[in-house]
Structure 1
Amino acid sequence: MKKRLTALATVTAALLVPATPALAQQNNPIPAGVIALMETQNDLHRIADKIEKSGGFSGFHVDAGTKTLNVHWKGKAPATVDAAATAAKAQGLTVKVHQAKYSKAELDAEATRLVKTGAFQAVAAKHDGSGLTVTGKSGAARTTAQSTVAVQTQSGGWELAASRLSDTAPFKGGAYVENYVTGQPQGACTTGFAMISNATNAPKLLTAAHCGDLGSGYSTGSEDPVGYVESRSVPSDSAIIHVTGAQPKVWIGDSVQTELTQPTANQYGLDVIGATTTLPGDWLCTSGAFSGTICEIQAVTTGMTVCFTPTECVYNLVEALHRGGYSAGGNGDSGGPVFSAHPGDQLMARGTLTAISTNPADVRQCSGVPAGNGRQCSQRIVFPDITTQTAQHGVRVMTTQAQ
C-alpha cells in the first residue's frame, strides 16, 4: 500500500510508514462518567428548548454535575421559565434564574459592530449577559475596546487547525484525508460526519472549508480517492465532499500515529444518532485523525466570531476548553468531529474543529502525532455549531435513526 509524501509541514516524518486501520472494537476511550454527564446535559437541553429566548434573554449555562440549567435574563423572566423550572423539578433537575446586565440581542448587535471595525480577530457575547470578550488581531496590541457594553480583552489569537488513515467507502467521520489539486497534495485534515442531501438524499461527508477549495479532491492516506468538494462555506467553515458512500459512524480511539508506529491500534466506529446545538457548560469530545479521541472538553462560549483575515470570518463558533489542562486538538484535526457521547456507544454531532488557540498559556503537548514540522496543539479550540453548518449546505446529519 503506497503512502503519499505530503508536501506540507503538517504531515510529519512519523506519518510516512503505511498501515491499515484496525476496526476491532476494544476498550471504549470515553469514560462511563463522561457519558453519564452528557446524558444529564441532554435532559437539561430539553428543558432549555421549552424556554422562550426573546426579550431580555441573555444565555444559558449547563451544569451537568449539579443537574442545573442556569438561565440568565435581563429584567423579569417570562412565564415559560417558571414552567420550565417546574418541569425540571419533577425530573430531579434544577432551573436557576440569574439577573443579567445585557440581553443577548444587545450583545449580539454590539458584537456585529465590533467585527465590522476590523480591529479584532474574535468577538463573543458572554453567556451570563455581563458583556463581550474580544481578542485583538495578531500584531495589533489592544488592551481596551471602545464599546457601549462591558468588554473583556483576551490575549493570544487563533490559528486554523488545518492538516485514521486508510478509510474505505462507505466513509466514516474522524478519518485522515489529504486534499489535492491537479494531483498535487495540499494538506491533511480530518473528516467530520456523514451527511445526507435534503434535495436528493445522496450521501455526503462534512469537513472544514479551510481544508480545501471548491472542486479540489480528497484521498485517504493510502491514496485511494474519497471525493471532491462540491459545496463550501467560509462563514461556517464547512465543506461538503461528494462521495460514493458514507455511513453514520465516527472513528473513535487512537490517532494515525498509533497505526503507523504500533503493531495494533484501538480504533472502531461509533454510531451517530443525531445532531444538536451546543450550550455553555456542555461536555464534549473530539476525534481528530492526528490527535485521536479526546474528552473532558467543556464549552465556555457560544456565538463567537473569529476573523482569520479581513475577508475570512467564521460565525456562530463555540469556544471549548480541556478542563484537565491537556490538549483538546491540534493541526491536522481540522474538520474532525466534535460530539457528545451517549449510552450504548452512541454519539450526538455538535460541529467540526476549526481552530486552536495560539495563546502561549493555551499551547499544550500534542496527543497522537507529536508537535513539530508545523504541528502544535492547544487546550482551547473553536468549532462551528452543527446546526449552522447543515443549514448552509441544505444537508442533514446522517444517523442510525430513520431518516
Structure 2
Amino acid sequence: MGRKSTVQRAVVVGVAVAALAVSAAALVPPAAGGQVQAEHATQAEQTDQAATRAAVEAAVDHTAHAATALSGAPGYAGVAVDYDAARVTVSWKGKAPAAVNELAATAEGVTVDVERAALSEADLRAASTRLLDSQRAAHGPGAVVAAYATDGHTGLVAEVGRDSAAARSAGLDQALAEAAGVPVTVELVDDGVMSTSVSRRNDGSPWHAGGAIASKDGTDYCTTGFSIITAGGDRRIVTAAHCNEGFGSVVRDGAGQRMGVVSSRAVGLDAELIKPDGTTARSVYGGPWNASRSDARYRFPIGGVQQPAVGQNICSSGAVTGEHCGAKVRAIDVAWTCGKRTCHGFRASREDGGVVVGGGDSGGPMYVVIDGKAYARGMIDGGSNRRSCGSTSVSTQCFSYVYGIPMVDILSHWDARIDS
C-alpha cells in the first residue's frame, strides 16, 4: 500500500517568539563578589540558549512533517532540514504542486526552499530495488550493502562490500548502472548491514515500546516497537519480522514471560505485529538499558508519528544497548538487503561516529522527543560499521549506523494509526 499524499498544514511554533528569550545576565545588576552571580548568569544563558534551540528545532520539525506528508505524490523526491539555518528544503522532479508553494508562504520562522530534482523518490526506489535484487542474485546478499540517492537526486550511491565478489568483478560501475537504469557512484565499505536481533528485560502488560523480547530459554534477541491500533480497533505491538519463526509464534519478554503471539507479518517491510496478552502502553522506554524510574528519560508518552527527513534529529532505543540520541538522519529511501528481500528505509548516525544501535535492538522504536513527548519515526531494523559497545544488557555487537523502517510505511501497510 502506498503512502498517503494528503497535505497537512504545518502547525509551526514561531522561532521569533523563542528568540525573544532574554538571558538572566541582562536582568541581574552586577554586585560585589559577583563570581557566584556570574556563574548563575552563565547557567541562565545556557538554559535560554537551549530553550531557543529546542523551539527552533520543533518549528523546523513541524514544517518538515507537513512537507513529508506530500510523499507519494508524483514528482516528490525528498525533504531535508537544516536546524542551524531554520530551513526546510523540498526536492521535486518537475513543477512542484501548489501545496509546496503554500507551505513556503505560510511557515512562520522557517524558510522553505524548493529545489528541482532530476529523479523522483519513486524513480530512485525502483532503481535501487533493481540494483540490489540483481546483485544479490549474481553475487549473494553481501554484495551491495546499501544504495541511496546522490545529492541532487541525479542517481544512486551504491556501497559495495570491499571483500565481496561484486567488488572484484570487472566493470562494476557500468554493471550497477545498467542494473539500476540510472547513474551509479560506487563506494567500497568494510562491512555490511546486520540485523540487530540477538530492566526492559522484564516488562508486563501494558507493554511498552523498547522492552525486551526473548527466546524460549529467556535469551534476549529483539525489542518491542511502538503500539498501533488497526482499522478494526485492535491494539498490536510492532517489531521486526526477522525476530522469530513467523505467524503464530509465541513471543516472550526478557524474563521469559509470555507476551503474546505473532498475528501478522509484512516481510517487505521486515515488520510484524504481536497480538499481546493484556494491553499496550502509549509510551516508550528511553535512557540507558538499565534505567530506573528515577532517570529523567526513563519513559516518554507518545505524541504522534512523523516521517523522517534528511538532517533531522533522531533517537533509537533498544532493550540491549539502551537509548541513543544525538544522531541525525543521513539518507532517506535507502535500500538494503533484509533476509532474501530488498528493504527500503532510512539511515542515521552521530557526528562523532558513536554507537547508535546494537545486537538485540531490532524492532525497537526510533523517535524524536518534542516538548516531552516521543514522536514515532521508525522501527530499528539493522546496523553497520562496527563499534565497541559500552554497557549492554548482554554481550553483543554495536554499530555506528542504524537502519530504520519508517513508521508511516508500517502504519500505511496495516491501515493503522499510532497508539498515542
Answer 1 or 2: which has greater helix percent. Answer: 2
Q: Does 1:72 align with 2:108?
A: no
- The two structures have a TM-score, normalised by structure 2, of 0.75
Q: Could you say what secondary structure the match of 1:44 adopts? A: helix
1:170 Cα shift? 0.6
Q: Could you say what secondary structure the match of 1:354 adopts? A: strand
Post-superposition Cα deviations, 1:219-249, rounded to whole Å, max 9, x if no partner, equal 2232222112111222111111111111101
Bigger relative CO (Cα 8 Å, ≥ 6 apart): 1
Q: Could you say what secondary structure the match of 1:298 adopts? A: strand
Change (3 A) 1:253 1:118: same
Q: Does 1:207 align with 2:246?
A: no
1:112 Cα shift? 3.0
Match of 1:132? Answer: 156
Change (3 A) 1:60 1:193: same
Change (3 A) 1:99 1:313: closer
1:129-208 → structure 2 map (5 Å cutoff): 129-136=153-160, 139-142=164-167, 144=173, 145-147=176-178, 148-154=181-187, 155=189, 156-163=191-198, 164-180=200-216, 184=217, 187-199=220-232, 201-208=233-240
Change (3 A) 1:396 1:177: same
> Superposition RMSD on alpha carbons, in Å?
2.8
1: CA distance, partners of 2:285 / 2:111: 35
1:251-290 → structure 2 map (5 Å cutoff): 251-256=285-290, 268-290=298-320
Q: Does 1:347 align with 2:374?
A: yes
Post-superposition Cα deviations, 1:142-194, rounded to whole Å, max 9, x if no partner, equal 252233422122323111011212111111111112033xxx55752111112
1:136 Cα shift? 3.0
Q: Could you say what secondary structure the match of 2:242 adopts? A: helix
Match of 1:48? Answer: 67
Q: Tell me the percent identity.
A: 27
Post-superposition Cα deviations, 1:13-49, rounded to whole Å, max 9, x if no partner, equal xxxxxxxxxxxxxxxxxx8688545413322224415
1: CA distance, partners of 2:193 / 2:245: 21
Asked if 1 retains the 8 angstrom alpha-carbon contact of 2:289 and 2:393, the reply is no
1:312 counterpart (309, 330, 341)? 341
AA at the equivalent of 2:405: P
1:207 Cα shift? 1.0
Change (3 A) 1:231 1:35: farther
Count of residues paired in the alignment: 350
1:340 Cα shift? 1.0
Asked if 2 retains the 8 angstrom alpha-carbon contact of 1:59 and 1:128, the reply is no
Change (3 A) 1:73 1:348: same
1: CA distance, partners of 2:209 / 2:186: 35
1: CA distance, partners of 2:56 / 2:240: 28
2: CA distance, partners of 1:272 / 1:384: 18
State which structure, 1 or 2, has the greater radius of gyration over its C-alpha atoms: 2
1:383 Cα shift? 0.8
Asked if 2 retains the 8 angstrom alpha-carbon contact of 1:58 and 1:127, the reply is no
Match of 2:22? Answer: none
AA at the equivalent of 1:169: S
Post-superposition Cα deviations, 1:67-124, rounded to whole Å, max 9, x if no partner, equal 1011223455454433322222xx0111123343333343233223223313434333
Asked if 1 retains the 8 angstrom alpha-carbon contact of 2:65 and 2:306, the reply is no
1: CA distance, partners of 2:56 / 2:258: 39
2: CA distance, partners of 1:69 / 1:87: 13
1: CA distance, partners of 2:411 / 2:350: 26
Match of 2:403? Answer: 382
2: CA distance, partners of 1:391 / 1:323: 32
Q: Could you say what secondary structure the match of 1:114 adopts? A: helix
- The two structures have a TM-score, normalised by structure 1, of 0.78
Q: Could you say what secondary structure the match of 1:327 adopts? A: coil
Which deviates more from structure 2 when the two are superposed, residues 210-219 or residues 348-357?
Answer: 210-219
1: CA distance, partners of 2:296 / 2:69: 40
Q: Could you say what secondary structure the match of 1:253 adopts? A: coil
Change (3 A) 1:386 1:46: closer
Q: Does 1:115 align with 2:132?
A: yes
1:391 Cα shift? 2.7
Match of 1:11? Answer: none
1:351 Cα shift? 1.4
1:337 Cα shift? 0.6
2: CA distance, partners of 1:326 / 1:198: 39
2: CA distance, partners of 1:285 / 1:355: 14
